[in-house]
């Protein structure tokens, strides 16, 4: 073996051993807006509904956040779920968002402060949110024609992770991670006079809704900030507003309640 050949082989092997470029990436594609799942009473004249009360939604269920390995060391662990909004405040947040969205429709909305005082006066508890008869009673006392109530199913950040495929013999496997906002709600509208469920809506969304084009999170970005790429994917608060807004837009469209 000549000296030149030996030097060339040494350079090739050394490059392979030390290379840490890796080829891993987490590619997030935009999410097409999904229409809310709607059911309505087709035989009901929604023109009778003029005033609506929106009750606090049932808070998101308690969930174990779990953990996953990530970061520079395999021993590092981060939660699979993050809760930037305390679970016990998610119902109030979605109530506020639904009320704000209703302002742009023909419906009159019972003021939240007035409704809160009434709920406290009647000793209305979180468990009463599943009792239609109690909900109808509150609606009557508030002077509403209909009441919107329901549950928050999801309101958190969820970890997405992919381990890269290293090219160098001494390259370390690096996790490419992103925390993605997720919000899901299920709501109903009940007629105060009859106690009949007139309209239901289930809707959900993720942070992909905020992407105009595909976002690629690379291994190198993961090294710089291995725990969170939530910022370019929006926040839970922003997503909650969007999900509530689209539910009310569907209500206005399906019931002739537009402004």
How does 180-217 read in b/e, with b if 16+ C-beta sit within 10 Å?
A: bbbbbbbbbbbbbeeeeebbbbbbbbbbbbbbeeebeb
- 12 lies in some domain: no
Identify whether 147 is part of a domain.
yes
Give a yes or no: residue 19 inside a domain: no
Instruction: Give the whole-angstrom CA distance, residue 220 versus residue 20.
Output: 10
On whether residue 20 sits in a domain, the answer given is no
How far is residue 139 CA from its own chain's centroid? Answer: 28
At 195-233, the pLDDT tens digits run 999 999 999 998 888 777 777 766 666 556 554 454 556
Q: pLDDT at residue 9 above 50? A: no
- Is 15 a domain residue? no
> Which of the residue ranges 12-26, 149-163, 165-179, 225-239 has the most confident prediction, judged by mean pLDDT?
149-163
Total number of domains constituting the chain: 1
Quick check: pTM over 0.75?
yes
d(CA 179, CA 222): 12
- Domain span holding position 196: 25-255
pLDDT of residue 179: 80
3-class state of residue 88 by DSSP? helix
pLDDT digits (tens, 9 = 90+) for 89-146: 999 999 999 999 999 899 999 998 999 898 888 888 777 777 888 899 999 999 999 9
First to last CA, the chain: 85
Is 54 a domain residue? yes
**240 vs 2, more confident:** 240
- Output the pLDDT for position 6: 47
* Percent of the chain with pLDDT strictly greater than 70: 74
Task: Report the CATH number at residue 51.
Answer: 3.40.50.10610
């Amino acid at each position: 073996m000549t000296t030149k050949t030996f030097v060339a082989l040494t350079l090739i092997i050394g490059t392979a051993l030390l290379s840490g470029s890796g080829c891993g990436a987490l590619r997030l594609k935009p999410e097409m807006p999904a229409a809310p799942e709607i059911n309505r009473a087709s035989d009901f004249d929604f023109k009778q509904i003029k005033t609506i009360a929106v009750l606090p939604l049932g808070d998101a269920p308690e969930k174990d956040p779990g953990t996953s390995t990530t970061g520079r060391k395999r021993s590092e662990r981060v939660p699979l779920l993050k809760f930037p909004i305390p679970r016990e405040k998610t119902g109030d947040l979605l109530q506020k968002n639904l009320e704000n969205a209703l302002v742009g429709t023909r419906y009159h909305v019972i003021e939240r402060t007035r409704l809160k005082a009434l709920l406290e006066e009647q000793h209305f508890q979180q468990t009463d949110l599943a009792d239609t008869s109690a909900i109808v009673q509150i609606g009557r006392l508030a002077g509403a024609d209909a009441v919107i109530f329901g549950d928050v199913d999801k309101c958190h950040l969820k970890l997405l992770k992919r381990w890269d495929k290293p090219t160098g013999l001494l390259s370390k496997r690096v996790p490419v991670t992103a925390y993605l906002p997720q919000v899901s709600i299920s709501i109903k509208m009940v007629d105060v006079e009859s106690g009949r469920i007139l309209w239901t809506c289930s809707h959900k969304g993720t942070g992909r809704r905020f992407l105009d084009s595909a976002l690629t999170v690379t291994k190198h970005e993961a090294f710089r900030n291995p725990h969170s790429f939530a910022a370019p994917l929006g926040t839970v608060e922003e997503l909650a507003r969007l999900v509530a807004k689209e539910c009310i837009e569907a209500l206005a469209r399906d019931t002739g309640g537009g402004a």
